[in-house]
Amino acid sequence: MRHRMSAVLENPPEIEPVFDLELEVAEKAVAQPDDTGSYTVHSTLEELSGYSVTLDSRTTGGDLGTLLTAQPDLPGVILLEGGKLLGVISQSHYYKCVSRAFGREIFQGRPATLMLEETKDRPLVLSSGCGIQHAVEECLSRPTHLVYEPFVVHEKASNEYRICSFQVLLLASSQIAALRNDQMAQILNSMTDGLLVIDRHFRIGHEYSQAAAHIFERDDLDRFSLLEILAPLVDATVHGQIADYLKVLFNPKLIDKLIKTINPAKQVTARFILPEEHTKYFTLNFERVRSQGEISQVLVQVEDITQQRNLAKELEKQEAASEEKLQLILQILRVDPPVLREFIQQFRDGLVALDRLLQAESSDHLHAWINDLFRTVHTLKGESALLQLPLYERPLHKLEDGLAALRTMAEIKVEDLALISPAVENLRQLDDNMSSALAHLDQLSPRSAAATEKAVPERQGPLMLATRMLEDLSKRLGKPVSFHTTVRDEDLPADYREAITELLLHLVRNAMVHGIELPAVRAARGKNATGTIQFAIKPHPDFHEVIFQDDGAGLDYEKIRRRAAQLGRTLATPEEMHEAIFSPGFSTAETITELAGRGVGLDAIRHTILQRGGSIHVYSDEGAYCAFQILLPLTAAKTGGAA
C-alpha cells in the first residue's frame, strides 16, 4: 500500500457520486461553523469558525466520501481513536487518494484511517488560545504544498478538536488588520498631537495624525520629505539647521537624550502664505526608533505653540500694565492724598463726560460740547503736570490734540468722534490701573492716607497746590516770582472751594505764562526781576469778591487786535478786547506747549464763573499789571448760567 501510483495516471477515473452510501455517521458529525462575525485585535482561534467533524477509526473511506461530497465547504475531517487524534483527511487529500488508479476500489470499504498512511505529513494542531495573527504565521511556515491545507484547533479544557480552513483564518486575519488600521486611523485622527514618522531620507510615512496635517495645513504630507514641507515655511538658516540635525538623528552612535539639547526646532516660526498670510509657531520633537542597532525611523511630534506664545505675549503686556501700576504708585506717593483724591475725582468726572460724548447720537451742539470737554481735559492735563503725574499728562495731551483737531472742523459729525475714542480708551485703562494701584496701596497700609493727612495738615488744600504750581512754573519757565496772600484754605467759602481752586490754578498758570516777564525783560522795563502775584478774597454782604493780580506785562492790546484780525474780527474798545480774550480758541501764545497756548485758560475761568451765577472783570495797564476781579453770589447757583 505504500507505493504510489498516482504519478502514472494520465486520465483520472471519473468519480461517481456516492449517495447510496449510509450518511448516518456523517450527518451526526457535521457541525455548523460557529457564529463569530466580529473579531477584536485580541481574538484567538477560539473565536474562529470551524467544523467539529470527528470520525472514529471505523468510518470507511466510502462514508467519508459521501460526507465530503455533500459538504464541499467542509475543509476535511478529524480522525480520532479513543479521544486521541489520529490525523486529518482534508478534501484535497481525500481526492488525491481516491483519484489514483483503483483508488475508489481500494478505499471504498476500508477504514478511512487507511488514507492517513498515504502521507507522512502531520496535521498542524494549534491551541485554541493561539492568537489569529500567530496562527497565520504558523500556517504560512508549513511546507509549500501544505500551506493551504486546513489545520486543527485543540480546545484543551474539553479536549475537543475542530478543523478550520486556512481561508477562513486569512479572512479573520485581514478583518483584524483592517480593525487595527481603523483604530490607528482613529487614534491618529483624534490625537491633538501632530505625529508623523520619517525614514532615513526624511520622507514622511503614510500614517500621520490629522493634527499634523492641520498644523502644516496640507493633507498630502506623505508625498514629501519633512524638509520639503518645511522649505516654504521657515527661513533658510533654520531650514539648514534642521536639515543638519535630521542627519545627526540617524547616527546610531549618538545618545538619544543627549542630542535633544541641540534640537534647533524647539521653536520654529512658520510663515504661511495661503489662503492668507499668517504666522504660526511650532515645536518639533524627535524620537528615534532603533531596530537592529540602526535608527530605522524617527517619530516626529509637531506641536502648535502659537497660542502659548501669544499667551506669553499677553503676559508680557500684563506685566507692562503692572509696571504702569507700580509707576503710578510711585508717582502718587509723592502727591498729597486729598489733592490726589480731588484730581482723581475730577479725572473720573471728565471720563464720564467723555463717555457721554462718545455715545452722542446726533451732531447737534457737538461743537459746544467739545469746547466744554476741551477745557476740562486741558485743566486736567495742567493739573497732572503740576502733580507730576506724567502717566496722566501724556495721554491727556494726546486727547487734547484729538479734541483740538475736532474743534477746527467746520462741521463735526458723530463719526468724527472716532478720532478721540482710542485716546479715551487709554485713559479708561489708566483709570483702571490707578484704581488697582490705589487698592494695592490701601492693602499695604490701610491707614496711610489718613495718617499722611494728619501728619502734614498744612500741605492740603488749594492754596498749597497753587503755591506749588507757582514754584513749579517759575522753575520751568525761568521766571522768579513771589506770591502774596493772606488767604488760608479755611477762608475759602465752602460753596466755592472747588471752583476757586480751579480758578486759582487757571489764573496762576495764565499769569506765569502770559503775564510775568522773563527777568531780563523786567529789568529792561525798570521792574524788580522777581515778579509779584497777589491773591485776596474779600467778604461782602451778598457776594464774595476774589481778586487776582500780577505785575507782569499786562494785556498786549496790539497782539490781541492782530489775533482778532486773523480770526476775522475787528476790535476797537478795551471792553471789546477784554471780552475777546475770554472767547474760546483765542490765545496769543506763539507756540503750543503743555503749559498754555491753547486759548482755554481764560475761557475756562469765565465758563466756571458764569455757570455759578457770577461775573468776571479784567483790568490791565499794558506793561504794568493785569488784574482779575471775580464776583461770586453768596448762594451758589446750582444750575449753570449762560456759557
Partner 1 sequence: MKLLIVDDSLIVRSVIERNSGHVAIEESFQADNGVTALQLYNEHLPELVTMDLTMPHLDGLACLREIQAMGHGPSILVISALNSHQTAMEAVANGACGFLVKPFSGPELADAIDQLVQHAQTR
Name the residues that contact partner 1, by CB under 8 A.
Answer: 241, 244-245, 248, 251, 253-255, 257-259, 261-262, 264
Residue among 13 and 264 whose Cβ is closer to partner 1: 264
Residue among 155 and 287 whose Cβ is closer to partner 1: 287
On whether the CB atoms of residues 303 and 209 are closer than 8 A, the answer is no
Distance of closest approach, residue 306 Cβ to partner 1, in angstroms: 23
Residue among 231 and 254 whose Cβ is closer to partner 1: 254
Distance of closest approach, residue 260 Cβ to partner 1, in angstroms: 9
Distance of closest approach, residue 299 Cβ to partner 1, in angstroms: 19
Distance of closest approach, residue 245 Cβ to partner 1, in angstroms: 7
Residue among 264 and 338 whose Cβ is closer to partner 1: 264
Three-state DSSP class for residue 120? coil
Residue among 266 and 538 whose Cβ is closer to partner 1: 266
The residues near 341 (Cβ < 8 Å, ≥ 6 apart) are none
As a whole number of angstroms, the distance between CA 452 and CA 397 comes to 30
Residue among 259 and 335 whose Cβ is closer to partner 1: 259
Cell of 340: 490726589
On whether the CB atoms of residues 627 and 619 are closer than 8 A, the answer is yes
Distance of closest approach, residue 302 Cβ to partner 1, in angstroms: 20
**Between 421-444 and 390-407, two packed helices, what is the crossing angle to 10 degrees?**
160
Distance of closest approach, residue 281 Cβ to partner 1, in angstroms: 18
Alpha helices in 161-235 (DSSP H): 166-190, 210-216, 226-230
Q: Nearest CA to 38 among 28, 29, 30, 49?
A: 49
Distance of closest approach, residue 259 Cβ to partner 1, in angstroms: 6
Residue among 256 and 558 whose Cβ is closer to partner 1: 256
The residues near 539 (Cβ < 8 Å, ≥ 6 apart) are 545
Distance of closest approach, residue 254 Cβ to partner 1, in angstroms: 5
Distance of closest approach, residue 233 Cβ to partner 1, in angstroms: 18
Q: What is the DSSP letter of 193?
A: S
174-208 per-residue burial string, b: 16 or more CB within 10 A, e: under 16: ebbeeeeeeeeeeebeeeeebbbbbeeebbbeeeb
As a whole number of angstroms, the distance between CA 88 and CA 371 comes to 109
Q: Does residue 275 have a cis peptide bond before it, meaning omega lies within 30 degrees of 0?
A: yes
Beta bridge partners of 288: 298
441-462 per-residue burial string, b: 16 or more CB within 10 A, e: under 16: beeeeeeebeebeeeeeeebbb
Distance of closest approach, residue 248 Cβ to partner 1, in angstroms: 5
Residue among 109 and 252 whose Cβ is closer to partner 1: 252
Distance of closest approach, residue 230 Cβ to partner 1, in angstroms: 15
On whether the CB atoms of residues 114 and 107 are closer than 8 A, the answer is yes
Residue among 157 and 255 whose Cβ is closer to partner 1: 255
The residues near 116 (Cβ < 8 Å, ≥ 6 apart) are 79, 86, 87, 89
Residue among 298 and 423 whose Cβ is closer to partner 1: 298
Distance of closest approach, residue 287 Cβ to partner 1, in angstroms: 15
- Residue 303 — φ and ψ, nearest 5°? -125, 130
Residue among 259 and 360 whose Cβ is closer to partner 1: 259
Distance of closest approach, residue 284 Cβ to partner 1, in angstroms: 14
As a whole number of angstroms, the distance between CA 247 and CA 200 comes to 8
Residue among 251 and 318 whose Cβ is closer to partner 1: 251
As a whole number of angstroms, the distance between CA 569 and CA 504 comes to 30
Residue among 240 and 640 whose Cβ is closer to partner 1: 240
Residue among 258 and 494 whose Cβ is closer to partner 1: 258
The residues near 568 (Cβ < 8 Å, ≥ 6 apart) are none
Q: Nearest CA to 511 among 490, 541, 485, 493?
A: 485
For 570-597, the three-class secondary structure string (H helix, E strand, C coil) is CCCCHHHHHHHHCCCCCCCCCCCCCCCC
Distance of closest approach, residue 454 Cβ to partner 1, in angstroms: 53
Cell of 196: 508623523
114-144 per-residue burial string, b: 16 or more CB within 10 A, e: under 16: ebbebeeeebbebebebbbbebbeebeebee
Q: Nearest CA to 344 among 380, 382, 398, 378?
A: 380
